[in-house]
Amino acid sequence: MAGRESFFWHKVHSLTGVIPTGFYMVQHLTLNSFALAGPDKFNGVIHFFESMPKHFLFFLKFGVIWPALIFHAVYGLFIISRSEGNYSEASMKFRENRYYTLQRWSGIFAFFFLVYHMASTSVLGQIKGAESIEYASWAERLAAPGGTYLVLLFYVLGVASCSYHFAYGIWNFCIRWGITISESAQQKTAKLSQGVFVGLTFIGILALVGFFKPILKAPEHSASNGSPVQSRPASIEK
């Protein structure tokens, strides 16, 4: 499997990118958008998963989601290592070549983004408890630590990369599994994928914006001198 191309493993790779990894990403971004409703709603989502039976939660994490995600990421890097991009050639600037190139680059960025994200959420939550991934912790993490918004920018780019990778994956999945055979069907799926990309990116950014609502409402922010907030407001304290 590691030394040569495999039609079977390519199909498995395509399948795991949509089910369960893609489905998990959609529900994950949707639930994260509860941040727009405030700390109580967002923390309610965290507490719901924490209240699930441990054996069932571990089965979902380590028996379904993580194996599929790890396989998709590792085999995806293997595919990228053997791929040859050709969009830079003037005669090859077709839609499919552009999709192909962006898929590879978005996959690489998404890989490093997800390694960081999983380490700072699932792994950290197992070590320090649910408090480390609740609303107050996220608001503090994103709200310009050290005077910069690098973490926020990293998450915006990460969400966009994952959304594009999944959206293109739908288009590729339908071709690889023989669902869309004609050119017309592939064009319609391409439009659907574009809509999925825009929609998921929008939901993900809304979730990030939700962690700034208390800061935007803070008295320091609305002061007439317009000086930026230098510390986390009390309204997001637990």
CATH of the domain at 175: 1.20.1300.10
Q: Which residue has the tokens 């599929």?
A: 68
Per the structure, the complete domain to which residue 205 belongs is given by: 7-83+92-236
> What value does the mean pLDDT take over residues 214-223?
49
Nearest Cα residue to 204 out of 164, 150, 169, 147: 164
| Closest listed residue to residue 201, CA positions, set 166, 160, 162 | 160
C-alpha–C-alpha distance, residues 128 and 45, integer Å: 18
In a domain, 232, yes or no: yes
CB within 8 A of 154, min separation 6: which ones?
Answer: 113, 116
- Count of structural domains, the chain: 1
Lowest mean pLDDT among 152-156, 201-205, 210-214: 210-214
Q: What is the DSSP string of 172-202?
A: HHHHHTTS--SHHHHHHHHHHHHHHHHHHHH
Question: For the segment 79-119, what is each residue's pLDDT rounded down to a tens digit?
Answer: 888 877 665 565 556 667 788 888 889 999 999 999 999 99
Nearest alpha-carbon partner for 100 in 82, 78, 79, 85 = 85
Residue 143: per-residue pLDDT: 79
The token pair at 115 is 């390694």
> In this predicted model, what pLDDT tens digit does every residue of 26-75 receive, in sequence order?
999 999 999 999 899 999 999 998 899 989 988 998 899 999 999 999 99
**Does residue 114 sit within a domain?**
yes
Its sign, for the CA torsion 73, 107, 111, 134, is negative
In a domain, 191, yes or no: yes
Using DSSP, state whether 131 is helix, strand or coil: helix
> Does a structural domain hold residue 188?
yes
CA distance 26 to 16: 14
Q: Judge whether 1 lies within some domain.
A: no
